[in-house]
Amino acid sequence: MKTALVFGSTGLIGGHLISQLIKNDYYNKIKLFVRSEIVINEPKIEIIKTDFNDLENHKEDVKGDDCFFCIGTTKQNSPDKKEYQKVELEIPKKIAQIARSNSVNSFIFVSSIYANPKSSGDYVKFKGLVEEELKKLNFSNLGILRPSFLMGNRKENRTGEKIGILTFRLLSPLLLGPIKKMKPINSEKVAKAMIKIANENLRKTTFESDEIVEISSG
């Protein structure tokens, strides 16, 4: 039986991830690291109210088998550039470093389609820089997922993303070959793939969006 560490449990992917982990017999304990207190009546779950400004203070809590990271923000929700960089770059790197120092076996990270550390756009640049750091840490099992537009019921309204999803859904029949990975993907499938990657030897590290769909369907 294993312990899962989850960062980003209240988000679009995180909600599905928690539901699936609760039902999964591999895990008998699920640690949720959250900013604010939440109530979940489930014996498997331990809620850890987390000060993300002082992650070193939680070093003893970040112990377990598989760490799932799906925290993310938008410039709309984090208009301050320093805060945006902190959420998208500094926090995931710090959590990964702590997890590695505590001999956590697997680190499963939700990145982004076209993540690139040399990009001029902050979002894909920060995701790419986190990917580079994760590879340097040499986890026993590392999974980097690069989903395309995520489909699902978000708590907040993201108009631009909705337009993008609609556009690419209409274009989906034409998205073949190398651009197949641009098809919108259901957030539930991303969560399912995260758990499979943590528990199966898939002999690779980075998974593009179309590969995530294949894994979740297997």
- Least confident residue range of 17-21, 90-94, 171-175, 198-202: 171-175
Residue ranges of domains in the chain, CATH in brackets: 2-217 (3.40.50.720)
pLDDT tens figures, 71-90: 987 767 777 889 999 999 99
Whole-structure pTM value:
0.86
* Of 72 and 178, more confident: 72
Cα dihedral across residues 194, 197, 199, 200: positive or negative: positive
Question: Are the C-beta atoms of 192 and 216 separated by less than 8 Å?
Answer: yes
Question: Are the C-beta atoms of 138 and 97 separated by less than 8 Å?
Answer: no
